[in-house]
Amino acid sequence: MVSRARFLGTGMAVPDRVVTNDDLSGRMETTDEWIRTRTGIEERRWVTEGETGAELALAASRQALAMASLQPSAIDAIVYATSTPDHFAPGNGVFLQRMLGADPIPALDIRTQCSGFIYALSVADAWIRAGSYRTVLVVGAEVQSTGMDVTTRGRNTAVIFADGAGAAVLGPSDDPDRGILAIDLHSDGTHAEKLWVDAPGSMYHPRVSEAQLREGRHFLAMDGKEVFRHAVARMPESVRAALAAAGAAPADLSLLIPHQANLRISEMVQRNLGLDNGQVYNNIQRYGNTTAATIPIALDECVRADRIRPGDLIALTAFGSGFLWGSAAVRW
Ligand code: COA
């Protein structure tokens, strides 16, 4: 019989360096009040020079493995979601494989930005259900701070995006009712340039030029209003679709973990789905938007704080650059 994939352990890691809203208002024209009221963010973590995304992923992965009581040698595959790899190539999966001292197992990078963890889960879920790989380490990790323009020109993104890593170990469930029940995935590339990093890119000769650097085309650029408008519609739609595929409805949810894009987006998603405050988890106040890492970081906090218990129905949902979006329905 085909086994569902279930979570065996979770972990998270963020840099030690705390960057407050006041720290940012010292570097650009913004205020603590503007950032709090528009985004909900109070502080975020940014790496210090030399600290890498793969190192954050390693720390998160070790915690997830410890919770699962597994050694790195027990992992059969790595799926690593990041839009900010340490290098253009190879992807970060191999650096994590090396740092963990894992066997020469497959290591796949997923580049679907904010939706990265949901897409990564879908790959792990399919591999496990197909019997291709038994124990899969899934990571969402980002270092966004090094791609931020920390002058007034970049203030609409620099105050939002941040660094961190979350990880989960998945394996086959012996209980047919527990595990990942359904996953819903989408894309709409007509909006690709509304949240993107233009350069470096292989379409340019050379891949990045001094002119591009001067124009700031290597920084993350965002049309915030458009992202907002689509996010508040697509996330609830996708949560409903994933739940429907699992034979459930929003009212059945013990907990929804939305991608931490912006507190106002999460609040609108919550209202759209008719959920109360106890049914939705937010931690953007402390970490900002860590792209592919927001969901696994939040998941780990909820698991360790007993906000998620065996048998709970939970949903994970994300929307972001691409546009790409998706949701997962999980019986814990
Ligand atoms: N501090 C102060 N003012 C800022 C600012 C900042 N950090 N960032 C932008 N502004 C200014 C703008 O320059 C603009 O000024 P202007 O009217 O003089 O041109 C004004 O605030 C309004 O900008 P706008 O972009 O229209 O604001 P908004 O109300 O849409 O809020 C966001 C901006 C980014 C908070 C909002 O669009 C948003 O949350 N979007 C979704 C972003 C997101 O979630 N991204 C991640 C998705 S994965």
Q: What is the mean pLDDT of each run of 10 residues along the chain (332 residues)?
A: 90 98 97 98 97 98 98 98 98 98 98 98 98 98 98 97 98 94 98 98 96 96 97 98 98 98 97 98 98 98 97 98 98 98
Asked if 7 and 302 touch (Cβ cutoff 8 Å), the reply is: no
CATH number at residue 304: 3.40.47.10
- Active site (annotated) includes residue 289: yes
Per-residue confidence (pLDDT) for residue 241, from 0 to 100: 98
Per-residue confidence (pLDDT) for residue 190, from 0 to 100: 98
Q: Which domain holds residue 64?
A: 5-172
Query: What are the backbone dihedrals phi and psi of residue 298, each rounded to the nearest 5 degrees, phi first?
Result: -65, -40
- Active site (annotated) includes residue 218: no
Amino acid residing at 175: D
Report how far residue 30's alpha carbon sits from residue 46's, in angstroms, rounded to the nearest whole number. 18
209 and 256 assigned to the same domain: yes
Report how far residue 88's alpha carbon sits from residue 86's, in angstroms, rounded to the nearest whole number. 7
Counting the structural domains of the chain, the total is 2
241 and 323 assigned to the same domain: yes
| Residue 228 Cβ contacting ligand 1 at under 6 Å | yes
Tell which atom from ligand 1 comes closest to the C-alpha of 259.
Answer: 48
Query: At which of 143, 172, 201 does a domain end?
Result: 172
Report how far residue 164's alpha carbon sits from residue 57's, in angstroms, rounded to the nearest whole number. 8
Query: At which of 172, 187, 213 does a domain end?
Result: 172
Report how far residue 84's alpha carbon sits from residue 162's, in angstroms, rounded to the nearest whole number. 11
183 and 252 assigned to the same domain: yes
Nearest to 157 by CA among 41, 316, 295, 18: 41
| Residue 30 Cβ contacting ligand 1 at under 6 Å | yes
Q: Probe ligand 1: pick from 25, 156, 234, max atoms within 8 Å of CB?
A: 156
Alpha carbon of 225 to ligand 1 centroid (Å): 7
319 and 246 assigned to the same domain: yes
149 and 226 assigned to the same domain: no
Query: At which of 151, 172, 193 does a domain end?
Result: 172
146 and 205 assigned to the same domain: no
How many Cβ atoms are within 10 Å of 128's Cβ, its own excluded? 26
188 and 121 assigned to the same domain: no
157 and 198 assigned to the same domain: no
| Residue 186 Cβ contacting ligand 1 at under 6 Å | no
Amino acid residing at 52: T
Per-residue confidence (pLDDT) for residue 319, from 0 to 100: 98
Give the E-state strand segments of 114-231 in sequence order. Answer: 136-142, 164-172, 179-187, 195-196, 221-222
Alpha carbon of 38 to ligand 1 centroid (Å): 7
| Residue 38 Cβ contacting ligand 1 at under 6 Å | yes
319 and 190 assigned to the same domain: yes
69 and 147 assigned to the same domain: yes
Active-site entry in 21, 92, 259, 282: 259
Per-residue confidence (pLDDT) for residue 3, from 0 to 100: 86
46 and 76 assigned to the same domain: yes
155 and 13 assigned to the same domain: yes
- Active site (annotated) includes residue 282: no
What is the b/e burial string over 199-222, where b = at least 16 CB atoms within 10 angstroms of the residue's CB?
bbeeeeeeeeeeebeeeebbbbbb
Report how far residue 321's alpha carbon sits from residue 303's, in angstroms, rounded to the nearest whole number. 28
Per-residue confidence (pLDDT) for residue 1, from 0 to 100: 62
| Residue 194 Cβ contacting ligand 1 at under 6 Å | no
Pairing between β-strand 164-172 and β-strand 5-13 as defined by DSSP bridges: antiparallel
Tell which atom from ligand 1 comes closest to the C-alpha of 225.
Answer: 37
